[in-house]
Structure 1
């Protein structure tokens, strides 16, 4: 559909679909009704090509398999956020598994991925005691920020992301 539009008159630039909403996904969710994937009206939409918060139930490999099917030549970029349980990176074997999953993702045509390695419990604790978590940095949506400095709605969205405990 996008390719059916003529190039822009300025520099004859072609049109592209960008999957980079940064933090607009919280606002877009507030003004969007319920969606077929089970997202309720008013809740944030996905922050890029990441699965809607909590809908990625089959692990990182399944997410990578879905996302790598995109035709990146027809987009202007994308971001994929994944939240990992710190336990997932315990031990050399787990680190090797994750590294191999990331390599495979890019060999399958993946474009971009960024991680938060933090537990849901820790994020909730940071909300309760922000003074004790001033240095807690998280990946938001194309940028990083201190978790306790984020607006409550954005904190809640990050908490709602699936915390992967297996590859």
Structure 2
């Protein structure tokens, strides 16, 4: 890249799971400090047990407000996590003397990283995928895409010098110009960076998951990569978890 004397010497690193950390910290604040339902040791024991025997606690964590619900307090917590990731990168110089830019493009790593991550206080069980980039995690778009966009664009995106990617997946019935144009316009007007998505029906994904050999032509785009029908089952399941339920919010 620099062999020809390129002027651009800035590159950096990408964070994975920032929305999960934000949701987890808010759940801890809510359950331990605000409502005083549990002590810290109780939650640690539940996480170590992967919530086996602690299903009630897990449900309370899952029901806690999430980044993506258009809840300013949760969004502020997630932004604190983002800024804590950005700060050390901004203070670092890479080997070419350039700034180490923060980049949030962890799409293709969310499954593999999730497999290596234990249960988290947002209610996520061990080995489940983490959130895509700065997208609300799976299940956290239940308030609608516009609410999720409001949450995402409250973050300090201007400080993410390398770009902040967000995954928005829609059923083919919603992938129409009259629907997508205002969604994309809102995303851009509010300062969103990278709008990445897939458009495929839920029924097609379910069939492809069961019979991948019949869908080798089906490509699920993940930023610069594409996953075909030959990929692993864990990756085949992920697009189903990310389908956006509605536009309104």
Q: Same fold (TM over 0.5)?
A: yes
What RMSD in Å do the two structures reach over aligned CA positions?
2.1
Q: Structure 2 length normalisation: TM-score?
A: 0.58
| CA displacement, residues 115-158 of structure 1 (integer Å, 9 cap, x when unaligned) | 21112221110122223322112122442232x12211111122
Contact 1:22–1:143 (CA<8 Å) still a contact in 2?
no
Shift of 1:79: 1.6
Which 4+ runs in 1 deviate beyond 4 A?
Answer: none
The answer on 1:3 being equivalent to 2:87 is yes
Structure 1 unmatched ranges of 5 or more: none
Q: Structure 1 length normalisation: TM-score?
A: 0.83
SS in 1 for 2:213: helix
Shift of 1:78: 2.1
Aligned residues: 162
Structure 2 unmatched ranges of 5 or more: 1-83
Q: Which has more helix, going by share of residues?
A: 2
Contact 1:137–1:145 (CA<8 Å) still a contact in 2?
yes
Q: Which has the larger radius of gyration?
A: 2
Aligned-partner Cα distance in 1 for 2:243–2:215: 21
Contact 1:60–1:166 (CA<8 Å) still a contact in 2?
yes
Q: 1:53 aligns with which of 131, 138, 146?
A: 138
Aligned-partner Cα distance in 1 for 2:91–2:197: 37
Does 1 or 2 have the higher relative contact order (CA < 8 Å, sep 6+)? 1
Partner of 1:87: 173
Q: Which has more strand, going by share of residues?
A: 1
Evaluate the alpha carbon distance shift between residue 127 and residue 9 of structure 1 in structure 2; reply closer, same or farther with a 3 A threshold. closer
